[in-house]
Amino acid sequence: MRIDDLPGELILWILIASEVLVFAAGLSAMVAMGLRDPQGFAAAQGHLDGRLAALNTVILVTSGLFAARAERDAAAGHRRRARIGLGLAGLGGLMFLALKAVEYARDIRAGLGMDGHPFYTFYYLLTGFHAAHVIAGVAVLALVAIRARPAPVQAGAMFWHMVDLVWVLILPVIYLIW
Amino acid sequence: MDALTRTWLLLLGLTLATALLAGIDGRLAALALLALAWLKARAILGGFLHLRAAPGWLGAAMLPLGIWLAAIGALCLVALG
């Protein structure tokens, strides 16, 4: 196992590890807080719509496929195909954000505010912080699509997969296990 | 079918399994949901982020992730009584 074996830039792996650690710390704090009031956390989670979260998982992993294909196309010198893949991946990100906005609007209409219960404080903070990463990821995908060179496209795709990776860890802890 | 498409199909299958398990209450279901999250993370790291092609690195990434998810699972077991 050598550092040189890692695909892509080392700094991106440091970023990925850092982001996973930040979200893991937040999720751990949430679960630890839930130990004090498991019934309250279960009741609060019961008001969330897990179907929208599942649909968003499908959207994110599909956009991850487009980003991975764009990376492969850019490496092969197919810039136009890489741009199309990056565009589709970015579109997936926008669809994710639109669905998240629908979910937040539904939650707020139902009176599930951030200060209503500690569960919702973590819910809004963690999913909101993740949504901020999705916005940043869409911007990164758009930027690297301009020239569609192999190394920047690979970096953009790696950032996008990190967003995907964090989401699959958030999903069970926030939406499902209580 | 290429490796990227296989990874995507695996992720869709794991997401479907997650959705099916989500309707079940109890400790075993909670642990299974965390195990599915670990498998999804493995598919993303190995297939999309290409760690499968980097000797030793996929295991090095998945071990701490597995320990963390196991700790979350243990805390859930305590919370669920």
Q: What is the structure's pLDDT at B1?
A: 87
A46 lies in some domain: yes
Average pLDDT of each block of 10 consecutive residues along chain B (81 residues)? 96 95 86 96 97 94 97 89 70
Q: How many Cβ contacts (< 8 angstroms) between chains A and B?
A: 114
Task: Answer yes or no: do A165 and B41 touch at CB < 8 A.
Answer: yes
Mean pLDDT throughout A66-86? 97
Q: How many domains does chain A have?
A: 1
Does ipTM surpass 0.85 in this model?
A: yes
| pLDDT, tens only, A22-37 | 999 999 999 999 999 9
CATH number assigned to the domain comprising residue A89? 1.20.120.80
Q: What is the structure's pLDDT at A26?
A: 97
- How would residue A12 be classed by pLDDT, with cut points 50, 70 and 90? very high
A1 lies in some domain: no
Classify residue A116 as exposed, middle or buried by CB count within 10 Å of its CB (0-12, 13-18, 19+): middle
Task: Answer yes or no: do B79 and A35 touch at CB < 8 A.
Answer: yes
Of B8, B30, B79, the CB nearest to A62: B8
Residue A54, domain extent? 22-176
Query: Mean pLDDT lowest for which of A45-49, A167-171, B24-28?
Result: B24-28
| pLDDT, tens only, A107-126 | 999 999 998 899 999 999 99
Helical segments of chain B, H only? 3-22, 27-43, 57-80
3-state class (DSSP) for residue A149: coil
Q: What is the structure's pLDDT at A13?
A: 97
Q: Is the dihedral of CA A33, A35, A36, A40 positive or negative?
A: positive
B19 contacts chain A (CB < 8 A): yes
A84 lies in some domain: yes
Q: What is the structure's pLDDT at A49?
A: 87
Supply the mean pLDDT for chain A.
95
Residue B72, domain extent? 3-80
Closest-CA residue of A relative to B80 is: A38
Q: Would you tell me the crossing angle of helices A10-34 and A118-147 to the nearest 10 degrees?
A: 160
Chain centre to alpha carbon of residue A118: 22
> At a CB cut-off of 8 Å and minimum separation 6, what does B12 contact?
A58, A61
What is the distance in angstroms between the Cα of B32 and the nearest Cα belonging to chain A?
A: 10
Chain B 24-43, residues with CB within 8 Å of chain A CB atoms? 30, 33-34, 36-37, 40-41
Q: Is the pLDDT of residue A142 over 80?
A: yes
Q: What is the structure's pLDDT at B71?
A: 96
